[in-house]
Amino acid sequence: MLTKSQARLFFIIGTVLCAGTFLFLTVDTLLKVPTQTRSANLTPAVERGKEIWDKNNCMGCHTILGEGAYYAPELTKVYERRGPEWIRVFIKDPQAMFPGERKMVKYNFTDDQISDIIAYFKWIGEIDLNGFPPKPSLASGVTVPTGTTAKITPPEKYNQICVACHALEGRGGNVGPALDGVGTRRDAAYLDRWLSDPAAIKPGTAMPKLPLTDAERKDLVNFLSALK
């Protein structure tokens, strides 16, 4: 049996230890927030983008950081997934990219507003979320069946980006030309130059310069060259 003073001591030590631990963990968490959220990158453009996001109720259809509605794709990692050029073209005229599919509202934002939204997506995408959202990506896109004798699987980037503007065997967007048989029209060197910078070949073209690594571009060139 504890005496009264032992019980008091037990209570006091227990309380101090637990409160101390609680305070330590709270402070530790608060100290980690700025690095995890990369708060140094919170530019005025990011803030304006967030305001546009709130005012236009994008969450009525989308989720970001897992919050919102489940009608449209989760957008936390959209910057990494699609890249800024793609997002810009998409927001300008969403329905042109996905004709006849679910529809995203056409907002008639100005170029500056779209830049702010993109800045906001970039910042959100850089938050350290301990692996959220889990892979495989929720928006892996359309998979293009290849009915030709030799089945060719499109590289991941094709389904993430190209399919929004180009059709193959009748599936995909129609902002750009269908890519069936592009390997007979264009050689690998041309395709490589085209994907590196379309405007360098054709000034004013509607195909944006897309964020592709050298390896991704090479895979795409091999894939396109095989479309005969």
Residues that bind ligand HEC (CB under 6 A): 52-53, 56-58, 60-62, 71-73, 75, 78, 81-82, 86-87, 89-90, 94, 98, 101-105, 107, 117, 139, 157, 161-162, 164-166, 175-177, 182, 185-186, 191, 194-195, 202, 205-208, 210, 220, 224
Name the residue whose CB lies closest to ligand HEC.
176
| Pairing verdict, β 67-68 and 167-168 | unpaired
Three-state DSSP class for residue 187 = coil
For residue 193 the two structure tokens come to 């130059």
Residue 215 Cβ vs ligand HEC, minimum distance, rounded to whole Å: 13
Q: Which segments of 133-208 are extended strands (E)? A: 167-168, 171-172
Q: Contact 144/169 with Cβ under 8 angstroms?
A: yes
Nearest CB to ligand HEC, comparing residues 27 and 69: 69
Separation of alpha carbons 217 and 202, rounded Å: 18
Q: Which of 152, 161, 175 is nearest to 223 (CA)?
A: 152
3-state secondary structure of 63: strand
Q: Which is nearer to ligand HEC, 43 or 174 (CB)?
A: 174
3-state DSSP assignment of residue 194: helix
Nearer to ligand HEC (CB atom), residue 40 or residue 124: 124
Q: What is the enclosing helix (H) or strand (E) of 111?
A: helix 111-126
Smallest distance, Å, CB 136 to ligand HEC? 13
Closer to ligand HEC at the Cβ: 38 or 185? 185
Tell me the closest approach of the beta carbon of residue 73 to ligand HEC, in angstroms.
4
Question: Smallest distance from the beta carbon of 21 to ligand HEC, in angstroms?
Answer: 42
SS3 category, 64 = strand
Question: Tokens 């592009």, residue?
Answer: 182
CB of 113 to ligand HEC, least distance (A): 9
Nearer to ligand HEC, 119 or 161 (CB): 161
Cβ-based nearer residue to ligand HEC, 82 or 122 = 82
Tell me how far, at minimum, the Cβ of 17 lies from ligand HEC, in Å.
48
State the angle between helix axes of 84-92 and 111-126 in degrees (0 to 180), rounded to the nearest 10: 140
